[in-house]
Amino acid sequence: MPPVSRGFQRRRSPGADASRIPPGQYLTSDFPVLSAGPTPHTPLDEWSLTIDGAVDGSRRWSWSEFLALPSETFTVDIHCVTKWSRLDMTWTGVAVDTLLADVETSGDYVTAWSDGGYTTNVPLEDLAGGRGWVAHSYDGEPLEAQHGGPARLLVPHLYFWKSAKWLRGLTLTVDDEPGFWENYGYNNYGDPWREQRYWGD
């Protein structure tokens, strides 16, 4: 990096952004919509979030109970396997750490499942330690249905298909069970920095 004078330190240069773009990705300021099926519209009074599977007892939050949990606002970069990346996206939601705070589990994996039948698998350690959230707002507004509202999983350090829209539950599993796109040939883990797009990458 060439030296920069103090006055310019806070200005974002194209070079600074480039270092935040994983291999094979391009930068966009759009927010594309990518859905494998129709957008579900579950009424909030029928919505709940469930944690079940290999746990000491399942947990369930209604919409109002979920909103009453401590939430965090966080700004992250998003990388989609279709090659767009967008920087500094600001979300609000509940950390998976908060949801799992008093849950005892013998599972090392999580299957996130959604209204409409979408599933995706993520190692538990990738959702813990402040790296996974259930987001209900984007940019200070309730999350639009097309982007996963009322609530979606957010795992920004993995390709965006791991961030299940219309999330309704997290099922803890002892064995790693490939989800929807993982069964169709997407990589099981999906690290954008190692360009893990497809099986074998």
Ligand X SMILES: Nc1nc2c(c(=O)[nH]1)N[C@H]1C(S)=C(S)[C@@H](COP(=O)(O)O)O[C@H]1N2
Contact footprint for ligand X (CB under 6 A): 32-36, 80, 114, 116, 118, 147-148, 160-161, 163-166
> Quick one: which of 133, 189, 199, 124 has its CA closest to 161?
189
Residue closer to Mo ion (CB basis): 55 or 80:
80
CA torsion sign for 95, 99, 103, 105 is: negative
**String marking each residue 26-45 x if it binds Mo ion according to CB under 5 A:** --------x-----------
16 C-beta neighbours (distance < 10 Å), count: 12
Cβ nearer to Mo ion, comparing 138 with 161: 161
Q: Report the nearest approach of ligand X to the CB of residue 152 (Å).
A: 7
Residue 186 interacting with Mo ion (CB under 5 A): no
- Local structure of 148: helix, strand or coil: coil
Closest distance between ligand X and the C-beta of residue 35, in Å? Answer: 4
Of the pair 109, 168, the CB lying nearest ligand X is at 168
Residue 36 or 44: the one with the smaller Cβ distance to ligand X is 36
Q: Write phi, then psi, for 110 (nearest 5 degrees).
A: -130, 135
Query: Binding partner of residue 53 among ligand X, Mo ion, none, CB under 5 to 8 Å per kind?
Result: none
How far apart, in whole angstroms, are the C-alpha atoms of residue 164 and residue 74? 18
- Encoded tokens for 172: 């803890």
Q: Which of 63, 109, 161, 166 binds Mo ion (CB under 5 A)?
A: 161
- Tokens 């009074």 correspond to 45
How far, in Å, CA of 149 to CA of 115, rounded?
11
Residues that bind Mo ion in the complex, under the rule CB under 5 A: 34, 80-81, 161
